[in-house]
A and B are shown apart, each in its own frame.
Chain A
């Protein structure tokens, strides 16, 4: 291929030269060039190496269907493999490299693979390395597991950067009346018609210029039309987006768009996202997505210097690059004649081979006038050349029966095997395209979606017909969206438009000549691979795809699928539509993982939920831990303290004086209404009907199936007003469940539930000095005296600084303790008061680690014990459940299996040797049978500062009564080994509860 830049013409901006790097060499192009056009203008012909055989590959197309010029762009953490050079815009400083080659694509040592290509047939690796005889006959695939690692290293297309992606990506939502995909003659006409009809139009174009096939035409008339349509859209307020791919269509008018914002910019501003991943919702969609020109399977059809006829036309007209000087055009349809004439006009020596035997005189006459040679009934049989095509062996014949002919020298071979309308997006909607036997392509059937195909996407080949088709689609969209009926809708031109019918031509071969014909060049799938698959019994096209990998490369079968189907059909003695087509799935073209992720990564992977005391806690020295989406204080280490030292100190301090802990993350629900008491009494398993105003009660709610859902306290604030707390983990679940009950089961109850978790910030004040701390902080110390605020009492009062607060005397730690809540914006002032008072009693701040230690000592349950399997009896709380009322779960709680006495029951666990420790998650086994799932498990452990040794909570079949006095093994075989333990009451400290009532 001896390509060169023409001295004039094209859409490139010759006043804006651009320097870029290809394989570490500095080259020049112009603004408006793609990497492919610029490389071609610089005489570069080998741009890639093939997947399996490392064959040299050049530019095969001028668009997204490219299968040869697949390159790596960028360096370091911005290295992007498998970029199509045909779609990459050049910019100053662009770094691009060939891939899948060493030392480079021009002299690749890997090309030695090509010598063994006859062995590398479909399924080669599996056939060769799986179950290698005789060692592995009937013995599995152990050796394969080793080989696979090497094979995976050898294969592959490009290497992604291993460094974190430095770019940012945005997500977004868009809404419109009509989405038009594609800005060619049909798309522009459709968008203008829809916008003129008063619709809100979004037009998306994957290219960096609006115009589609207009851009490939040299006529001034085409440019005039293009410009006037663009101006019209601007005037009508349509949103026109370039560099934006509609990569998928989904239910109810949802389209996925990918906007490439800075991939063409040398030094993008740091705040600008590289790409935007947009979800567009539209009432109507017009797909003017065009058609892709197919190749033909003949010998060495992948050599550099072989491309589609339309591609060469695009390079010469749009980019002013003459792709070759001695050009052969091999076609089976009329579309290749225009490129042939365009190339001849710019001085090339052009010969057209047409597989058809008769052509209209007017075309032949035009060819004669322009000096273009022509051979009918002739086509390409085998390309000859080492690193690029040098000559072409011809085949001649009629009706598909080919005989080898003479040969012609050339430096460029253009192929047109027909056109495939881009029906991919429609396929995403589950619509199966149908075979158009006149135009030899798959087209959209009649389907029931607010989607229209327009232009060559509907197999309409002429420019003016495409415009008419687009216009009709736009007018129809207006009628559909506005509901005005289809009476005024003009009829669209039908499919077709060629003077002479296209002739089937998928593969060219002659007897006694072995050739290597590629049908999916990206994955090195050949015509022989398809026949081999058929010989080996593959009859489904879906299986064919997976066995040969046909259509599984980055172009997803845009180039090769039809030929593959045709060859399969031939092998099976069927017609193409009987073989079917594989389903196209999103995305139409690849999407970077960064775009899918958007800003939801790093610190924003999930939304962080901070308590109102977050900053206060940090300033006080908290180390934080995640509790669901919340961050809570874990422990407050003093200088030099480890977490263990810190929580032991905090636990001792709390038991001896006083400790403060942020409990804001507990779920809080306002339950209001005349029927609030009946509601709450029906939700909890224990009695709530007679809870006095100013009192709180611990409550357990069950699921319908009788298993514990959650526990917490409910405070009665007035006759009709309750304040319910839930666990941190189940706050949302309980809220949703209460709403469900009110809306679906008990709609007659006059009750409203509202989450007030965010309204109130809370601190627990625990320890013998807790009342003294409160007295120092509230406006009226008498209001928190033992008589005024006894165990489980509730008051609403205010702090000494006037901040309103509500306090309940409840205890999770087992100490005399209170939960105090203030409106969130006042939380820091509450903590200042509490902490100042607590310090005067040598108190401490504590976090979740100490919270855990205190509650384990007391045998209080949390989510790890109430894990969705435990009944209220299993948790040792069965006596609380009322037998006087009906409540959620009361019926199914009495299932025989839930009443078995040998069910796992909550117990406390001590090590036999008090110097030993054990871990949560250990399996509890009988001393004589340490195996399997054992008889129970450990849910939580801590060092108990009060008892001076490690303790745990857990479940064991039959509970304390069955295991008391026996040695049990806490088995932990894969971590710390086994420990002998004994089963005790779960209430390991202050079982009578005197301390909290004190």
Chain B
């Protein structure tokens, strides 16, 4: 797909029509839908892994290809190690490589990007995610593929909070659960 085509309609996210902002002075949890996700997958082969992943990291400006369960972020661009041979690049599009080096895939519409922050963000996430999110186990930069109410989701941590990628079709259902659960922590939605 040529991502440079001029599209004259706006993207409509899975959540767009289903929430209104709630502003609190000292929210325990803040949920933010991060709109306009650009998500490209880089899949490589065992023998091209280091070379191709490093080249892509250079190209998008992050400091090297991340290791297992890790991400590297530079400004608005992140590169996540999502599977042993797959990386997700967020915030930048990728160009088609030589098939012998790997393959890229535009997944920008496949996920809904939610950011969860605030003092109760970890507790809220742990209402659903069976993941050790304590600072020493899941610091900024950590990445995990995990389960949220039976649905496979991707999670990574930045200095802004927890970044959650939900499969688009399940996004509203999972968002509703997050909102319902977060109400007890003084929820803010931005």
Least CB distance, B81 to chain A, in whole angstroms: 15
Across the interface, A170 reaches (CB within 8 A) one of B6, B41, B181, namely B181
Check B111 for interface membership: any CB of A closer than 8 A. yes
Docked-complex contact B103 and A170, CB < 8 angstroms: no
| Given known contacts A171-B127, A604-B176, A801 and B7 CB-to-CB distance under 8 angstroms | yes
Chain A residues positioned under 8 Å from B159 (CB to CB): none
- The CA-CA distance from A670 to B180 in the complex, in Å, is 35
Docked-complex contact B106 and A759, CB < 8 angstroms: yes
Question: Which among B51-59, B63-71, B167-175 touches the partner chain?
Answer: B167-175
- The CA-CA distance from A168 to B179 in the complex, in Å, is 14
Across the interface, B43 reaches (CB within 8 A) one of A271, A606, A672, namely A672
Least CB distance, A740 to chain B, in whole angstroms: 14
Number of residues from B at the complex interface, CB < 8 A: 54
Check A74 for interface membership: any CB of B closer than 8 A. no
Interface string of B90-121 (1 = CB under 8 A from A): 00000000011001011111110000000000
- The CA-CA distance from A457 to B128 in the complex, in Å, is 33
Across the interface, B9 reaches (CB within 8 A) one of A599, A752, A826, namely A826
- The CA-CA distance from A826 to B13 in the complex, in Å, is 9
| Given known contacts A171-B127, A802-B8, A609 and B169 CB-to-CB distance under 8 angstroms | yes
Docked-complex contact B126 and A172, CB < 8 angstroms: yes
Chain B residues positioned under 8 Å from A761 (CB to CB): 109
Docked-complex contact A607 and B151, CB < 8 angstroms: yes
CB interface residues, B 116-135, toward A, < 8 Å: 123, 126-134
Docked-complex contact A175 and B132, CB < 8 angstroms: yes
- The CA-CA distance from A611 to B167 in the complex, in Å, is 11
| Given known contacts A281-B132, A672-B105, A759-B107, A607 and B127 CB-to-CB distance under 8 angstroms | no
Check A920 for interface membership: any CB of B closer than 8 A. no
- The CA-CA distance from A827 to B11 in the complex, in Å, is 9
Docked-complex contact B149 and A825, CB < 8 angstroms: no
| Given known contacts A825-B13, A829-B9, A599 and B134 CB-to-CB distance under 8 angstroms | no
Chain A residues positioned under 8 Å from B9 (CB to CB): 801-803, 826, 829
Check B177 for interface membership: any CB of A closer than 8 A. yes
- The CA-CA distance from A978 to B12 in the complex, in Å, is 52
Docked-complex contact A612 and B7, CB < 8 angstroms: no
Interface string of A173-184 (1 = CB under 8 A from B): 111000000000
Interface string of B68-94 (1 = CB under 8 A from A): 000000000000000001100000000
Across the interface, A173 reaches (CB within 8 A) one of B105, B110, B126, namely B126
Docked-complex contact B168 and A824, CB < 8 angstroms: yes
Check B2 for interface membership: any CB of A closer than 8 A. yes
| Given known contacts A599-B177, A829-B9, A674 and B14 CB-to-CB distance under 8 angstroms | no
Across the interface, B110 reaches (CB within 8 A) one of A170, A604, A756, namely A756
Check B26 for interface membership: any CB of A closer than 8 A. no
Least CB distance, A831 to chain B, in whole angstroms: 11
Least CB distance, B78 to chain A, in whole angstroms: 19
Check B20 for interface membership: any CB of A closer than 8 A. no
- The CA-CA distance from A600 to B103 in the complex, in Å, is 39
Check A398 for interface membership: any CB of B closer than 8 A. no
Least CB distance, A195 to chain B, in whole angstroms: 15
- The CA-CA distance from A273 to B12 in the complex, in Å, is 34
- The CA-CA distance from A760 to B17 in the complex, in Å, is 20
Least CB distance, A307 to chain B, in whole angstroms: 39
Check B183 for interface membership: any CB of A closer than 8 A. yes
Check A798 for interface membership: any CB of B closer than 8 A. yes
CB interface residues, A 616-633, toward B, < 8 Å: 629-630
Across the interface, B107 reaches (CB within 8 A) one of A173, A610, A720, A756, namely A756
CB interface residues, A 662-683, toward B, < 8 Å: 664, 670, 672-674
Least CB distance, B67 to chain A, in whole angstroms: 20
- The CA-CA distance from A826 to B9 in the complex, in Å, is 8
Docked-complex contact A754 and B41, CB < 8 angstroms: yes
Chain B residues positioned under 8 Å from A377 (CB to CB): none
Docked-complex contact A615 and B126, CB < 8 angstroms: no
Docked-complex contact B41 and A610, CB < 8 angstroms: no
A-B contact count (CB 8 A): 146
Docked-complex contact A750 and B45, CB < 8 angstroms: yes
Check A434 for interface membership: any CB of B closer than 8 A. no
Docked-complex contact B173 and A798, CB < 8 angstroms: no
- The CA-CA distance from A159 to B6 in the complex, in Å, is 67
Across the interface, A612 reaches (CB within 8 A) one of B100, B149, B168, B181, namely B168
Chain B residues positioned under 8 Å from A824 (CB to CB): 14, 109-110, 168
Check A366 for interface membership: any CB of B closer than 8 A. no
Interface string of A764-808 (1 = CB under 8 A from B): 000000000000000000000000000000001010011110100
Docked-complex contact B12 and A600, CB < 8 angstroms: no
Docked-complex contact A672 and B103, CB < 8 angstroms: yes
| Given known contacts A600-B149, A606-B150, A611 and B169 CB-to-CB distance under 8 angstroms | yes
Across the interface, B174 reaches (CB within 8 A) one of A269, A607, A796, namely A607
CB interface residues, A 268-287, toward B, < 8 Å: 269, 271-273, 279, 281
Across the interface, B173 reaches (CB within 8 A) one of A175, A610, A750, A752, namely A610
Chain B residues positioned under 8 Å from A600 (CB to CB): 149
Across the interface, B109 reaches (CB within 8 A) one of A174, A801, A825, namely A825
Docked-complex contact A599 and B180, CB < 8 angstroms: yes
Choose among A170, A599, A607, A615 the residue with the greatest number of B CB atoms under 10 Å from its CB: A607
Least CB distance, B85 to chain A, in whole angstroms: 7
Across the interface, A823 reaches (CB within 8 A) one of B2, B105, B109, B132, namely B109
Interface string of A595-606 (1 = CB under 8 A from B): 000011001101
Across the interface, A171 reaches (CB within 8 A) one of B7, B107, B128, namely B128
- The CA-CA distance from A603 to B172 in the complex, in Å, is 12
Across the interface, B137 reaches (CB within 8 A) one of A175, A608, A757, namely A175
CB interface residues, A 563-610, toward B, < 8 Å: 599-600, 603-604, 606-610
Docked-complex contact B7 and A803, CB < 8 angstroms: yes
Closest residue on chain A to residue B127 by CB atoms: A172
Chain B residues positioned under 8 Å from A823 (CB to CB): 1, 106, 108-109
Docked-complex contact A825 and B103, CB < 8 angstroms: no
Check B190 for interface membership: any CB of A closer than 8 A. no
Docked-complex contact A175 and B107, CB < 8 angstroms: no
Across the interface, A604 reaches (CB within 8 A) one of B11, B86, B149, B184, namely B149
CB interface residues, A 461-477, toward B, < 8 Å: none
CB interface residues, B 24-52, toward A, < 8 Å: 41, 43, 45
Least CB distance, B10 to chain A, in whole angstroms: 8
Least CB distance, B40 to chain A, in whole angstroms: 11
Closest residue on chain A to residue B7 by CB atoms: A802
CB interface residues, A 81-135, toward B, < 8 Å: none
Docked-complex contact A607 and B110, CB < 8 angstroms: no
- The CA-CA distance from A158 to B168 in the complex, in Å, is 47
Check A902 for interface membership: any CB of B closer than 8 A. no
Chain B residues positioned under 8 Å from A754 (CB to CB): 41, 43, 86, 105, 107
| Given known contacts A599-B181, A604-B176, A750-B45, A826 and B169 CB-to-CB distance under 8 angstroms | no
Chain A residues positioned under 8 Å from B133 (CB to CB): 175
Docked-complex contact B8 and A604, CB < 8 angstroms: no
- The CA-CA distance from A615 to B15 in the complex, in Å, is 11
Chain B residues positioned under 8 Å from A664 (CB to CB): 169
| Given known contacts A750-B45, A758-B110, A673 and B103 CB-to-CB distance under 8 angstroms | yes
- 12 further A-B pairs in the complex, CB-CB below 8 A; given A603-B176, A607-B149: A172-B127, A607-B170, A670-B105, A672-B103, A756-B107, A757-B169, A759-B107, A802-B5, A804-B7, A824-B14, A825-B12, A825-B109
27 A-B residue pairs with CB within 8 Å = A173-B127, A279-B130, A599-B127, A599-B177, A607-B150, A607-B151, A608-B170, A610-B14, A612-B109, A670-B105, A673-B45, A720-B99, A720-B103, A750-B100, A754-B41, A754-B86, A754-B105, A798-B5, A802-B9, A804-B2, A823-B1, A823-B109, A824-B14, A824-B109, A825-B12, A826-B109, A829-B12
| B residues neighboring A (CB under 8 Å) | 1-2, 5-9, 11-14, 17, 41, 43, 45, 85-86, 99-100, 103, 105-111, 123, 126-134, 137, 149-151, 167-170, 172-174, 176-177, 180-181, 183-184
| A residues neighboring B (CB under 8 Å) | 168, 170-175, 200, 269, 271-273, 279, 281, 599-600, 603-604, 606-612, 615, 629-630, 664, 670, 672-674, 719-721, 750, 752, 754, 756-761, 796, 798, 801-804, 806, 823-829
